[in-house]
Amino acid sequence: MSLDAELDDLRREVERLRGILPERVDVDPEGVEHGLAKLVLTLVEFLRQLLERQAVRRMEGGALSEEEVERMGLALMRLEQKVHEMALAFGLDPSDLNLGLGPLGRLV
């Protein structure tokens, strides 16, 4: 798959999600830190999942060497671990970071 086609796929995914995400975040002054942490970590988790899917497509398409696959896999695993660590530090369950996509279900 070409880079342009991959970018088009990502654009379509973002456009599809645009209508699902809330336009406004209702923030309780007492829970600002918790709410902000959840929002940021949810977005990071969303991007991590997109990167992971992209990596799998590139790997299946033969666009990556074995070394690149290994490095990318390790980087994605470390990112996932760090997101989960940060979620727990803010009292969040890592499963709470998965976006609900309305009638389509959860992101994963």
| Residue ranges in the chain assigned as alpha helix (H) | 3-18, 32-60, 66-89
Domain presence at residue 98:
no
In this prediction, residue 49 has a pLDDT band, given cuts at 50, 70 and 90, of confident
What pLDDT, on a 0 to 100 scale, did the predictor assign at position 71? 92
| Residue that wins the pLDDT comparison between 102 and 86 | 86
> Has this prediction a pTM greater than 0.85?
no
Domain assignment of residue 48, yes or no: yes
Is pLDDT of 74 > 90? yes
Write the Ramachandran bin of 48: left for phi over 0, alpha for psi from -120 to 50, otherwise beta: alpha
Q: Is residue 65 part of a domain?
A: yes
pLDDT above 70 for 102: no
Evaluate whether residue 100 is within a structural domain: no
What value does the mean pLDDT take over residues 58-83? 89
Q: Is residue 104 part of a domain?
A: no
Mean confidence (pLDDT) of the chain? 80
CA nearest neighbour of 95 among 108, 79, 78 = 108
Residue with tokens 């990071």: 44
Average pLDDT over residues 28-56: 83
Residues of the domain holding 40 = 1-9+32-91
Q: What is the model's pLDDT at position 3?
A: 76
Asked whether residue 5 is domain-assigned, the answer is: yes
Residue 43 inside a domain? The answer is: yes
Q: Does 73 or 30 have the greater pLDDT score?
A: 73
Task: State the total domains in the chain.
Answer: 1
